[in-house]
A = this chain, B = another copy of it.
Amino acid sequence: MTIIMHDLAGADPAVRFSPYCWRIRFALAHKGLPVETIPWRFTDKAAIAFSGQGRVPVIRDGETVVSDSWAIAEYLEAQYPMPALFGGATAQAHARFINAWADTVLLGGIARLIIRDIHGMIDDSDRAYFREAREARFGMTLEAAQEGRETRVAAFRETLLPLRQVLRAQPWFGGATPSYADAIIAGTLMWPRCCSRFAVLADDDAIAAWFERMLDQYGGLGRNAPRA
């Protein structure tokens, strides 16, 4: 049965840009599970009220509804064990650290580089909500939050050193083949790729080379995704 997933969309409904939804798109593709995505907007709370909360991704798999990207990844691994996303309880526990790091350092760092660009590509109906919610979070305007990114990006790139160290030792964050760790990092990097033309990574960064390989995985799922 095809899994249904509510997926954050921009003004152009073909542009899907949520870092959390992208983690699950990669996870589903890794397991070879067909998915039908439904474009969703930040303010469209009614459309996912059935999930008991207000954020995407939300998946519906037959009668089962699961929200929150980490919970969805756990669900998929339990329900459809092979090909494995984790490969055991300890790998899953270790991936939680990678997920937490991505949610804070990686996602938080990227936000300050592209937040104004996001406002420019989301639907008109989402803009007032988005500006108010994000300006409250940052304590400044979206314009101020993004300002100076050309110089600030160097410090952001330095925070990615642990990723580079791993890639010196192994081709994927999952080791010899991709795992959910690769879905986490690549999913998060799909966010700036789909929202913005600002280069968060330098071309000669080993992380960029790995990301290019991830873009080509799963029939070019990431490579072929529409960008704003």
Where the two chains meet, the residues of A that have a C-beta atom closer than 8 Å to any C-beta of B are 84, 86-98, 100-101, 103-105, 161-163, 165-166, 169-170, 172-176, 179, 181
Contacts and interface: CB of A to CB of B under 8 A. Distances in A.
A170 B97 CA distance: 11
Contacts of A103: 162, 165
Contacts of A179: 90, 93-94
A89 B87 CA distance: 8
Given A86-B90, A88-B90, A91-B91, 4 more contacts: A89-B175, A93-B176, A97-B173, A100-B165
Interface of A (DSSP majority class):
helix
30 contacts: A87-B88, A87-B90, A87-B91, A88-B88, A88-B91, A90-B91, A90-B174, A93-B173, A93-B175, A93-B176, A93-B181, A94-B95, A94-B97, A94-B98, A94-B173, A94-B174, A94-B179, A94-B181, A96-B169, A97-B98, A97-B101, A97-B162, A97-B163, A97-B166, A97-B173, A100-B165, A103-B162, A104-B161, A104-B165, A105-B162
